[in-house]
A = this chain, B = another copy of it.
Amino acid sequence: METAQPLPMDRDRCSVARTLQFAGDRWTLLILREVSFYGVCRFERLHERLGISRAVLSERLERLVEEGIIERAPYRPQGERARSEYRLSPAGEDLFPLLVAFMRWGDRYRNDGRAPVIVRHRGCGEPVDVLLTCAAGHPVARDDVEPHLGPGAGAVRAERR
């Protein structure tokens, strides 16, 4: 997909850039892996499993709450004071294909195709992948796409066309 002239859009609106405002960070995505793939939802377990400092973990969780990706829910372990656990919001749930895209690329190019974890379709047991597909249902190859300005491209730059 080569475009001689990149699209005349307001670059601040780019959806990739906006997603990267919170997701362009290794720890954040590892936290989301734990919550989304493995259902780990408590601070102590995240701390143990990731080997991340408490300060960094707190800060990243706070950020994910502010960004509307995870939600805090209270729980009280027996005989202890109340704590929080973390659940994905609907927006957080929708990051799942992105996490699978990270995983499948790593399977191919960082683990010689030998996946450490296979995400299987519960219905039929077959492994799951993310596929480029168009709204008409065609599987799409990478060279078979073309970027166009969309309705959110921004008025200023769009006028310059």
Residue numbers of A with Cβ under 8 A of B are 1-4, 6-7, 9-11, 13-21, 23-27, 29-30, 33-34, 36-40, 49, 68, 91, 93-112, 114-124, 126-136, 138, 140, 142, 144-154
- Report B-chain residues with C-beta under 8 Å of the C-beta of A147: 37-38, 117-120
Main secondary structure of the interface of A (DSSP, over half): mixed
Contact between chains at A129 and B135 (CB < 8 Å): yes
Contact between chains at B24 and A20 (CB < 8 Å): no
- Report B-chain residues with C-beta under 8 Å of the C-beta of A2: 38-39
Q: A30-B16, A136-B124 are in contact. Are A145 and B119 (CB under 8 A)?
A: yes
Identity of the chain B residue whose Cβ is nearest the Cβ of A18 in the assembled complex: B110
- Report B-chain residues with C-beta under 8 Å of the C-beta of A138: 121, 123-124, 126
Question: Which 8 A-B pairs rank lowest in CB-CB distance, beginning with the nearest?
Answer: A15-B106, A24-B26, A2-B39, A114-B152, A121-B134, A115-B150, A18-B110, A19-B106
Please pick, from B26, B135, B144, B150, the residue contacting A114 in the complex, using a CB distance under 8 A: B150
Contact between chains at A3 and B150 (CB < 8 Å): no
Q: A18-B111, A145-B119 are in contact. Are A136 and B128 (CB under 8 A)?
A: no
Contact sample, A vs B, 19 pairs, CB 8 Å cutoff:
A2-B39, A6-B49, A14-B106, A15-B110, A16-B30, A17-B33, A19-B106, A98-B98, A107-B152, A117-B150, A120-B134, A121-B136, A123-B140, A124-B138, A126-B138, A127-B135, A128-B134, A130-B133, A133-B133
Q: A18-B111, A110-B19 are in contact. Are A149 and B100 (CB under 8 A)?
A: no
